[in-house]
Amino acid sequence: MATSCYYDEMPVEAEIPIPDVVSYSKDIQPLWDQDCISCHKPTATSPDLTAANSYLALTKNNKYVIPGNAAASSLHKSLLGEGAALMPPAQKWSDSKIALVDKWINAGAPNN
């Protein structure tokens, strides 16, 4: 596939496809594994985003995720760096990664 890229400043993060039905285990957890669990793991920074613990850590008491309401969820604010420290701290995610997480939350944040 031919794409054109411009690397004038920081390399822009690749946009990713958004599936019709977002799977927590197949679509979301791999993002945590890739970009978050170096810091967010058991006995380290909350929330614990490792596979065995992340779903409960995010959804318990609506602490980080409010099912059906991405805009009000603190996880969404962390990914935007608006009203919370930007996550991941090093570089803001591509719009499509944030949109994927938002779509999962707005679909009711299923543990699928």
- Contact residues for ligand HEC, defined by CB under 6 A: 35-36, 38-40, 45, 47, 64, 74-75, 78, 84-85, 87-89
| Closest distance to ligand HEC from the beta carbon of 62 (Å) | 13
Q: Which residue has the tokens 């779509």?
A: 103
Q: Which residue has the tokens 């927590």?
A: 24
Amino acid identity of residue 36, one-letter, is: C
Return the sign of the alpha-carbon dihedral for residues 110, 106, 51, 49: negative
| Closest distance to ligand HEC from the beta carbon of 29 (Å) | 11
- Which residues, in sequence order, are CB contacts of 57 under 8 Å at separation 6+? 46, 47, 48, 49, 64
Q: How far apart are CA 17 and CA 1, in angstroms?
A: 15
Whichever of 23 and 94 has its CB closer to ligand HEC, that residue is 94
Whichever of 94 and 112 has its CB closer to ligand HEC, that residue is 94
Whichever of 39 and 51 has its CB closer to ligand HEC, that residue is 39
| Closest distance to ligand HEC from the beta carbon of 8 (Å) | 25
Per the structure block, which two tokens stand in for 24?
């927590």
Whichever of 8 and 94 has its CB closer to ligand HEC, that residue is 94
